[in-house]
Amino acid sequence: MRDLPVHTLGYDSCVGTMTSVATSPKEQILVRFLDGASRGDGALVSSMLLQAGFLLNVSGDDGWTALMLAARSGHSEVVKVLLSKGCDTSLVNKSGQTAYDIARFWGHKHVAGLLSNSKPGDDHQFLDKVEAEAPENFFSRESLDRRCERRTDGKWLEAKRRSPDSVYILFFNLNPLVTSEAEELGVGGPDIKLRRLRVQSVQDLLAKPGTTLVFLGVEKQVSPPPPSSPGDEDGLTVWFALNTDEDPTEHLKLSGSSCFFVKPPMPGLFALSEEEAGVIAQARSVLAWHSRYSFCPTCGSKTRVDEGGYKRTCMKEDCPSHHGVHNTCYPRVDPVVIMLVIHPGGNQCLLGRKKTFPPGIFSCLAGFIEPGEGIEDAVRREVEEESGIKVGPVRYISSQPWPMPSSLMIGCLAVAVSTEIKVDGNEIEEARWFTRQQVIDVLRRGSEPAFVLPPRQAIAHQLVKHWIGMNANL
């Protein structure tokens, strides 16, 4: 591979701008060619190749060829042109990635397909590694088996509700009851633990009209256990969640314990274990839905709780909600995009500050998905609204249930195609490009970090970490 020193020109491999004058005509031609490939200008790429065939496999900054640049932005027409001229698909950039790796990474399946057909047998360990290492987010662990089919089995639910083996977790105004007693907590484990109650402790509360009960699921079994109680034939341990809007302390029959109700989101719930945080994500969102949707949203009538707490049925016989699928009858989830925007040059990321953040904190931009909008478009719209930056390719990384009250955070990486920041000044008071090194210093808690990241339990933290863990210049 022939490397020309185009980095001396300040060539920006994604937006294709030149920040200083090229030093030789040959270098100028290369800059123009790579710029055309990254913008998807197939006609320019074709005509330049006719006149200067040497351009086909030449690389610019950090070893990026025209094929890699076109692959990063999903420009299949340019990729086809380059392949038809016999370009070398096995070349790697200075981070060791082929054009195929880059296309796969950014989710351009059609381009990856074109490239893999042209080169079967290629080894793409880098991408497999990145995918395997997608973070597990706090609140996202499925600790219980939901057993959705049991929600309509009233007889089974009632037997489990009375069973001495069933576990109840209690919420007061959506704040869960926890304990911080040392004997309940393992060494090096979480700081607080959910207080698991039995039916005899919550009997009085269950009888009160303001109490909501939700069937969460059963404890996961490695192998079927023997029946644990007489009459309890399947031996499954069921978990229920209870919420009450009156202080339940006097109704609780707890022996000598120091329990308290913990308020979300921080730092309270973040002190739970991953397993219990997963249970809370499910329980709190469903209970919050009950507390906000007591009446039928379609006709305003009273509703009845059904299906183990997973449905509210309108009591008015001729309500339209009895026909068809009515999303007013089932628990709600609000999708939110949250994205780490990467500078076109690959080595900086965009983080912003909401006015409400504590001093020094910078985080990923985020926003609610609007009706009729896809994930990628929501990412592009929210980033432009909040920071003025335009976004090109978007890649999904991982998601996080966020039970305050019921969001699903959809975590993405996004490549910027412009660099000038102009914050909205309303929601976001400041946004900045931070270098990889600045971010690494923050993650390693260096002596003078440039900013403060949200804690590891926030998906924003995990997205930033994921980017740092990837090879540079994707």
Interacting residue ranges for ligand NAI, rule: CB under 6 A:
334, 336, 338, 363, 366-368, 382, 400, 402, 407, 409, 427, 454, 458-460
Q: Which is nearer to ligand NAI, 78 or 464 (by Cβ)? A: 464
Quick one: which of 40, 367, 405, 454 contacts Mg ion (CB under 5 A)?
A: 367
Q: Which is nearer to ligand NAI, 34 or 409 (by Cβ)? A: 409
Count the alpha carbons within 13 Å of 217 in the hemisphere toward its beta carbon.
16
Dmax of the chain from CA atoms?
88
Q: What is the DSSP string of 211-229?
A: -EEEEEEEE--SSPPPP-B
Amino acid in the structure at residue 7: H
Strand partners, 430: 353
The site map against Zn ion for 365-394 (x = CB under 5 A) is ------------------------------
Quick one: which of 15, 34, 296, 409 contacts Zn ion (CB under 5 A)?
A: 296
Q: Which of 447, 417, 452, 422 is nearest to 434 (CA)?
A: 452
Amino acid in the structure at residue 419: T
In angstroms, what is the minimal distance from the CB of 210 to ligand NAI? 26
In angstroms, what is the minimal distance from the CB of 369 to Mg ion? 8
In angstroms, what is the minimal distance from the CB of 372 to ligand NAI? 13
Residue 334 site contact among ligand NAI, Zn ion, Mg ion, none (CB < 5 to 8 Å, cut-off depends on kind): ligand NAI
Question: How many residues form the binding site for Zn ion (CB under 5 A)?
Answer: 8
The site map against Mg ion for 324-363 (x = CB under 5 A) is ----------------------------------------
268 lies in the site for Mg ion, by CB under 5 A: no
Residue 319 site contact among Mg ion, Zn ion, ligand NAI, none (CB < 5 to 8 Å, cut-off depends on kind): Zn ion
Quick one: which of 24, 249, 257, 301 contacts Zn ion (CB under 5 A)?
A: 301
Distance, CA of 283 to CA of 67 (rounded, Å): 49
Interhelix angle 154-162/199-207, nearest 10 degrees:
120
Q: Outline where DSSP puts E strands in 28-116.
A: none
Strand partners, 197: 168
Strand partners, 217: 239
Q: Which is nearer to Zn ion, 161 or 316 (by Cβ)? A: 316
Distance, CA of 320 to CA of 323 (rounded, Å): 6
Q: What is the DSSP string of 435-473?
A: EHHHHHHHHTT-SS-SSBPPPTTSHHHHHHHHHHHSPS-
* C-alpha angle 377-379-383 in degrees, rounded to nearest 5: 120
Q: Which is nearer to ligand NAI, 91 or 458 (by Cβ)? A: 458
- Compute the chain's Rg from CA coordinates: 28
Q: Which is nearer to Zn ion, 14 or 319 (by Cβ)? A: 319
Q: Which is nearer to Mg ion, 56 or 366 (by Cβ)? A: 366
* DSSP H helical ranges for 134-266: 154-162, 199-207
Quick one: which of 206, 299, 468, 472 contacts Zn ion (CB under 5 A)?
A: 299
Residue numbers of the site for Zn ion (CB under 5 A)? 296, 298-299, 301, 314, 316, 319, 321
Residue numbers of the site for Mg ion (CB under 5 A)? 366-368, 382
